[in-house]
Homo-oligomer: A and B are copies of this chain.
Amino acid sequence: MEKHDYPECCDINKVEQLKKNMLDNSILQLMTDLFSSLGDENRLKMVIALSKSELCVHELALTVDSTTSAVSHQLRKLRDRGIVTSRRDGQVKYYTLSDERIRQMLDIVIDFESVQKESEMVEKV
C-alpha cells in the first residue's frame, strides 16, 4: 500500500486532526537532537557525569573508559546541540550541563527505568 491511499481501516478525521496538531518541525528537530544525543551509551554516561560535576576532557575519558579524542568528538555534538557548555581555565577546559532541566529530565527517566527494571525482576520471582 502506497502513501496517501485511504484504506478502509483508517479514520481520516482522526489522522487529519493528528497531522494538524503535530508539533512544528523546528521543535521536533530539537527533540530528536536531544534524544539521539542521549541515545548513545558513552554520551549518556558523559552527560550523567556532567550532571554531577564539572569535568575536563581527560576526566570524562577516564570516567567513561574512552579516549580524549573520542570524548572530544562527542562533546562537540553535545555542544552543538546546546546540551553542554564549557569554560576555559588555563590549558584546561571544563564542561558542564548547560541546562538544569536536562538533569531533571534524566532523573525522571532514571526513575522510570529503575521502576521498570524492578517490576521485571518481580515478575521473574
Q: Which residues of A contact B (CB under 8 A)?
A: 1-4, 6-7, 9-11, 14-15, 18-19, 21-23, 26-32, 34-41, 44-45, 48-49, 52-53, 55-56, 58-59, 61-63, 65-68, 82, 91-92, 99, 101-102, 104-105, 108-110, 112-114, 116-117
Contacts and interface: CB of A to CB of B under 8 A. Distances in A.
Nearest to A93: B9
30 contacts: A1-B68, A2-B67, A3-B65, A9-B56, A10-B56, A10-B58, A14-B53, A18-B49, A18-B55, A18-B63, A19-B62, A19-B63, A22-B63, A26-B117, A28-B45, A30-B116, A30-B117, A31-B110, A31-B113, A32-B39, A32-B40, A35-B36, A35-B39, A36-B39, A37-B39, A39-B39, A82-B116, A101-B108, A101-B112, A108-B108
Closest 3 CB pairs of A and B: A36-B39, A35-B39, A35-B38
A75 B12 CA distance: 21
A97 to B, nearest CB: 13
